[in-house]
Structure 1
Amino acid sequence: MSTSQLTTVTILETSDVHGHFFPTDYRSSADLPLGLAKLATLIDKERSVNPSLLLIDNGDFLQGTPFMYHYAKYDGEGIHPAAQALNTLRYDAVVFGNHEFNYGLKLLHKAVDDSACPWLSANIVGATDGQPAFGSPYRIFTTSEGVRIAVLGVTTHYIPHWEEPANIEGLVFQDALKAAQRWVDHIRATEQPDAVVVSYHGGFERDLMTGEPTEPLTGENQGWEIAARLVGVDVLLTGHQHRQIAADLNGVAVVQPGSAGQAMGKVELAFQRNEVGDWQLCGKAVQLLHVDESVQADIQLLAMFTQAEERTQTWLDQPIGTTEGDMSILDPHQARQGDHSFTEFVNKVQMEMTNTDISCAAIFTNEARGFGEMITMRDVVSNYIYPNTLKVVRLTGRDVREALEQNARYFTLNDSKDGVEVSAAYLEPKPQHFNYDMWEGIEYELDIRRSAGSRVVKLLRNGEPLASDAVCDVVMNSYRAGGGGNFDMLKDKPIVREIPTDMTEILANYILDKKVIRSTCDYNWKVLF
């Protein structure tokens, strides 16, 4: 067969970059194997071989670093840095992630309007007209050889469970699986492309090998269903879970490139001409391109954002207060087994800001280190990495107990000297330390030696047992108040008060006002094992 009758189309996918343009985690000055500037080097290398490749971002591009936070809250001028990066690297399309909405619709629309490439979403529609809210559900891309590739964008429809209502006002998030099938059918019937790519900001709810559920089937992740049951899909680009996947599922090429620019997905589609001269898909290959220690950052991309990055770094290193006593987190695992001065501080700020006497908060990551003697903005944003707001939720004593039982599932027993470890469900498919809360304003004990669902062996309020029908107002972050993290007992409860200010700002302003933060710990709770 003549080589003129064969051609290959390359698709590159980034996802969950989370504002990591520079190769840093903002906790130190170390040059790390991550970030869009290093992915840019890989993109250039791939383009040198195939100039006509398709470059797709699968969402969660606008939020996740102090750089993006500083732009959203303090700079806000000129072209949105996300759009600058997308335009410079010549992205062909972007899909909306759930974190795109964190800073509100005005800033999101700015990023979309500033971008030269389309932002795709088939299942985010207007509440009044039911039409795609951002214009383009899909795009057809035609290569120089005449191969026509359809790229459809869909986004996890679970966003209303997490996001501030004001940030998604006027939008409806349709079921991603149903919307994808409806639009794939439309594309196949009307466009007759040579291949269909679904770029889905969502992950996999089942094991790719066995099909067994790996999480509660809430609808947050529908990747397995899309690949296994939808007709007419050739490639499924995924994200959201921060996993690194390159596989075949039911004949569909699936890929997911992790997070923070640590890797990029690569899909190669082989086509040959059939007897009537049309292109026919005849082969697929998927792989991950990793940013290893040998990959250098693209100097030109870094130069575009040097001044903005310098402003961010200056802002991060501004001292805003001091501590009196130890508020450092030496071992996050230990800090989650008994009351700690840092989590008590966060809870007390939440209670004071909302005039509430019960609070819950999490140590979001194992990189959280609490506060040293001098507190800077870097310390605040390194420990509290999400742009959550606060909500006061009215619960019953039964709801509180059920929430604590859910927290207790974070732990499981082991035979090591530690005696207790993090449950696999909180480590796979990605670490979910942010879904374990520590409470203030009640006294409680969790006994991990008991079976799940019966581990709360002590629950007191003001020294008395907390009755099941008692009414409690509890302050928590907006993600948890929406039931995020499988806390269904908190979902749809009455909202007593809301503080529409990012918690990072609340903490920073609190420290700036007090100047000296005294370390305290009342040891109101502990884990038994």
Structure 2
Amino acid sequence: MSREPANAVPHVSRRAVLAGAGAAAAVAALDGSPAMAQPARVKLRLLGTTDLHVNVMPYDYYRDKPDDTVGLAKTAALIKTARAEAPNAVLFDNGDLIQGSPMGDYMAYRKGLKAGEVHPMMAAMNALDYSCGTLGNHEFNYGLSFLGFSLAGAGFPVVCANLHKIDGSPLVKPTLVLDRDVVDEAGNKQRLRIGVIGFVPPQIMQWDQGHLAGKVQTTDIVDAARKYIPELDKQCDLIVALCHSGIEGGERKGGEENAALHLSRVPGIDVIFTGHQHKVFPGKDFAGIPGVDSDKGTLNGVPAVMAGFWGSHLGVVDLDLQKGPDGWKVAGFAVEARPIYERKDRQVVPRVEAEAAVAATVKADHDATLAYVREPVGEARNPINSYFALVADDPSVQVVSQAQLWYIRPIAATMPGLNDLPVLSAAAPFKCGGRGGPDYYTDVKAGPIAIKDVADIYLYPNTVRAVKVTGAQVREWLERSAGIFRRIDPARTDEQPLIDEGFPTYNFDVIDGVTYAIDVTQPSRYDGNGKLVAPDARRIVDLRFNGLPVDEKQAFLVATNNYRAGGGGNFPGADGSTVVIEAPDTNRDVIVRYVVEQKVIDPVPDNNWRFAPVAAPVNVTFVTSPHAAKALPKGLKAAPAGDAPGGFAKFRLDLSA
């Protein structure tokens, strides 16, 4: 397909040369020749979903309640409308289908799949008549056997060009040619040959090495495109790339996880469906990257779309195709990502209703999943609550750290340069009262723990990251966290509230793997925005690793989440530049898998952090849940001190030695 990419060096393909020659001949024939027939024009609409992650129903299984922001059953309504608007429509999927919600875990861990059985994700998609899909990185989380059974139930082909078996043969077809009869603007039937090629992040070999090592291998996305597209170009009128990879700028080095922008420079590609990053394009998510037109929806001039995640959007690429004597060319295009909901005054307002026919395909598995999330998947030996998370090492933070360490350590062990580094883990309490009120605390009882309980521990759909930092940066990271505490004046005898209520609790990181004390008689080294304001102040004292003072030049890996690693909270050592592991799994999913494997969890705090004692007697207080008194940790020198405004309870904290 002929197209001149904007802001890029034009490429000349076989089809472009032929089309150009035909056009020149047509112009030459105009002088003194009979009027020629107008060239055929076809309006072709390409539709795409991505990162569905087994979200068919508009339901949050973790919170066990309906959710109007997710679900292919909702996206199906957009698909229905889009097809009605443009009869020449082709529907694709861009990967990450069979893992990512409790329904996926139910199918893999509980129900299983046998030959002839259809995965609910495939059942829903079959009802929508998809034409082709590709593999996402999460397709491999349950192993190749489960993937094979899942794909066997798909009523559509799947392609992936940069994944092969060890013997070099493809795991699935690298490319595909779709023959489609379409109707042109004059009402005549035309035949289009649409080439489709798929890609997966090569990092799957790290993320799922336990399932994939010795069985398959990956290649660079751009290299694979250059290998297959020239031959595909000879066969087709149009080439669509299903790229389960995101959009990032910068110079290409090879092996990129997010390679869609680099892929757009490969000659022959006419449209790119991108994904993996759980963002939306066109849109502001990618504004300012050279080569990216975030308004028009192009990558180096190539139409591209990223349709959010979990069914939140439908990608729509409208092409105006014109047929010349020697082939078709793109005469114009438009790109959009249509949402299933919008927000008004912070409230979710649905734009569509779920399609009943699609919802019906998964009803039995949806009901079974509800039972699954409500039943125990493990056991908590002790209560997990956050009543005292701001004044003592805490079980709700401890279990997150333990799960992150369990997950990151084996990944790091496979990576040269990282496999010999000590691994720490940073986690923060999320539900700790504040504006959420006196009942806004994690409170998981000892005993059976269900999947939905994990949402009470970890609220956000963050993904796991690891950063490489120095001992000095670990110290500064903790100094930034310690900004949650007000300065305590040892000379005062009146009441002094300890917690700065304006400091978000999710920015109070506890780092496990080191031990340290916090001297709250010192001013905070950083202000609430993370700006260094007191360079001579040091709240973090007695910082040790393996019992010895931390060497400020020593390198550490710190497991955390994408928000923190990418600069959220403005923490020293965590600005995006220190990320060395970008894992594909959510922190919440990692906790679930950790519980499943451990069977019994016992997140007893190891008390790796404490307050430095204050020599003079001080009257220090903090507020917490009115239910906290029944869960006072052993060893914490705190006592109830009456009621506090807003329904909270006040406690007095003894900071003496």
**TM-score, length-scaled by structure 2:** 0.60
Please give the secondary structure, in 2, of the residue aligned with 1:138.
strand
Given candidates 28, 36, 39, the residue that maps to 2:72 is 36
| Aligned CA distance change for structure 1 residues 11 and 371 (closer, same or farther; 3 Å) | farther
2:265 pairs with 1:177:
no
Q: Which residue of 2 aligns with 1:74?
A: 110
Moved more, 110-119 or 163-172: 163-172
* Corresponding residue number in structure 1 for 2:323: 273
5 Å-filtered alignment, 1:95-174, equals: 95-129=134-168, 131-144=169-182, 145-167=190-212, 169-174=214-219
CA distance in 1, matches of 2:225, 2:510: 39
CA distance in 2, matches of 1:43, 1:223: 24
**Secondary structure of 2:191 counterpart:** coil
Match of 1:327 in 2: 385
The structure number with the bigger radius of gyration is 2
Change (3 A) 1:302 1:460: same
Judged with a 3 Å threshold, the aligned counterparts in structure 2 of structure 1 residues 348 and 202 are, in CA distance, closer, same or farther, namely: closer
Relative distance call for 1:221 and 1:405 in structure 2 (3 A) is: farther
Q: Does 1:255 align with 2:305?
A: yes
- 2: CA distance between counterparts of 1:36 and 1:298? 9
What pairs up with 1:228-377 in 2 under 5 angstroms?
229-246=265-282, 247-274=297-324, 276=325, 278-292=327-341, 293-318=350-375, 327-328=385-386, 340-347=394-401, 360=425, 362=427, 370-373=442-445, 375-377=449-451
Q: Is 1:16 the equivalent of 2:68?
A: no
Q: Distance in 1 between matches of 2:604 and 2:328?
A: 68
Give the Cα separation in 1 of the matches to 2:372 and 2:239: 45
**Percent of pairs identical after alignment?**
25
Tell me: CA distance 1:324–1:38, structure 2 relative to 1, closer, same or farther (3 Å): same
- The letter for the 1-side match of 2:206 is H
CA contact (8 A) 2:307 2:314 kept: yes
Aligned mates of 2:426, 2:255 — CA distance in 1? 23
**2:471: which partner in 1?**
401
Residues 1:115 and 1:438: Cα distance change in structure 2 (over 3 Å): farther
**Does the 8 Å CA contact 2:163/2:219 hold for their aligned counterparts?**
yes
Q: What is aligned with 1:194?
A: 237
CA contact (8 A) 1:35 1:262 kept: yes
The Cα offsets for residues 132-175 of structure 1, whole Å up to 9 and x where unpaired, read as: 22134333332332122211111222222322332454111100
Quick one: which of 454, 472, 496 aligns to 1:380? 454
**Does structure 1 conserve the Cα–Cα contact (< 8 Å) formed by 2:163 and 2:218?**
yes
Query: Partner of 2:259 in structure 1?
Result: 222
Deviation larger for 174-183 or 361-370: 361-370
Alpha carbons of structure 1 residues 75 and 198: separation in structure 2 relative to 1, 3 Å? same
Tell me how many residue pairs correspond in the alignment.
470
Whole-Å Cα distance in 2 between the matches of residues 63 and 406 of structure 1? 37
Residues 169, 40 of structure 1: CA spacing in aligned structure 2 closer, same or farther, 3 A cutoff? farther
In structure 1, the gaps of 5 or more residues are: 207-211, 423-432, 480-484, 492-500
Letter in 1 for 2:176: Y
Deviations 1:292-346 (A, max 9, x none): 213010112212211211111112123666786661499xxx97x9954312134
Determine the structure 2 residue equivalent to 1:466.
550
Secondary structure of the residue aligned to 1:143 is strand
- Residues 387, 502 of structure 1: 8 Å contact kept: no
Gaps in structure 2 of 5+ consecutive residues:
1-35, 183-189, 283-296, 342-349, 410-421, 484-499, 519-524, 563-575, 583-588, 612-657
Further displaced range: 165-174 or 399-408: 399-408
SS of 1:56 mapped into structure 2: strand
Separation in structure 1 between the aligned mates of residue 279 and residue 402 of structure 2, nearest angstrom: 35
Structure 1 pair 128/457, CA: closer, same or farther in 2 (3 Å)?
farther
- Alignment CA distance shift 1:36-1:372 (3 Å): same
* Inter-partner Cα distance in structure 2 for 1:45 and 1:61: 23
Deviation at 1:381, TM superposition (A): 6.3
Cα distance in 2 between the residues matched to 1:110 and 1:241: 26
TM superposition shift of 1:92? 0.7
2-side partners of 1:409 and 1:248: how far apart?
A: 43
**1:460 CA drift (Å):** 0.4
Counterpart in 2 of 1:496? none
Q: Deviations over 1:386-441 (max 9, x none)?
A: 999x9xx9xxxx97738848978999x9xxx888789xxxxxxxxxx99x985323
